[in-house]
Amino acid sequence: MSVFGVRRVAAAGGLALVLGLLTACGGSSDAASPSSSTSSSSSASSVGQAQTLTVTEVGFDIEPESSDLPAGDYTITVKNEGDATHDLVVERDGKDIAKSDTLGPGDSATFTVTLQPGQYVFYCSIGNHRAMGMETDVTVS
Ligand SMILES: [Cu+2]
């Protein structure tokens, strides 16, 4: 039990490092693992890391990389590739559970959310965009 606890602590440090690398280099996963880390590095990669999901907003469409996701912690990157201001809200059962910053054309932002199994809607809360069709169903299982 205590050995596991130590591993969890080491894994948390590794996760913070990985997230930093992802932010810095845009999701490439082949960054060399630091050779200075201890022998626990091989177990760090097997402990639940945040998954990444890219959501592109273009025109008045919201296009997630995938709309069928395994449950877990997510780091969501929203890219506004349209000509209008947008944001991204994650809604579950009519309740907003996470939201990006407001994004101007060409901007992107990252936020984190924990997705438990269920039915979600990703939508834009700017103006009447949702009514114009800026929403998409996402299933988490
Ligand atoms: Cu919008």
| 126 CA to centre of ligand 1 in angstroms | 5
How many angstroms is it from 87 CA to the middle of ligand 1? 6
Residues in contact with 35: Cβ distance below 8 Å, sequence separation at least 6, in sequence order? none
**How far, in Å, from the CA of 99 to the mean position of ligand 1?**
13
Query: At 44, is the pLDDT very low, low, confident or very high (cuts 50, 70, 90)?
Result: very low
Amino acid at 65: E
CA 139 to centroid of ligand 1, rounded, Å: 21
Contacts of 2 (CB under 8 A, 6+ apart): none
Instruction: Indicate the pLDDT class of residue 41, thresholds 50, 70 and 90.
Output: very low
CA 79 / ligand 1 centre spacing (Å):
12
CA of 86 to the centre of ligand 1 (A): 4
Q: What average pLDDT does the structure give for the chain? A: 80
Q: Distance from the CA of 56 to the center of ligand 1, in angstroms?
A: 11
Tell me: the pLDDT tens digits for 66-85? 999 999 999 999 999 999 99
60 CB burial (10 A radius; 0-12, 13-18, 19+): middle
User: Which residues, 6 or more positions from 108, have their beta carbon under 8 angstroms from its beta carbon?
Assistant: 77, 78, 79, 80
Q: Give the C-alpha separation, 20 to 140, whole Å.
A: 26
Distance between CA atoms of 85 and 104, rounded to whole angstroms? 5
CA 120 to centroid of ligand 1, rounded, Å: 18
Residue 9 has pLDDT above 70, yes or no: no
| pTM of full prediction above 0.75 | no
Q: Using CA atoms, how far apart are residues 110 and 41, in angstroms rounded to an integer?
A: 26
- The arithmetic mean of pLDDT across residues 113-122, rounded, is 98
Q: Under the phi-then-psi rule, with left for phi > 0, alpha for psi from -120 to 50, and beta for the rest, what region is 104?
A: beta
Q: What is the mean pLDDT of residues 28-32?
A: 45
Q: Say what the pLDDT of residue 48 is.
A: 67
pLDDT of 7 reads 52
Distance 114 CA to ligand 1 centre (A): 23
Q: Would you say residue 29 has pLDDT above 90?
A: no
Instruction: Examine the pLDDT at 35 and tell me if it is beyond 90.
Output: no
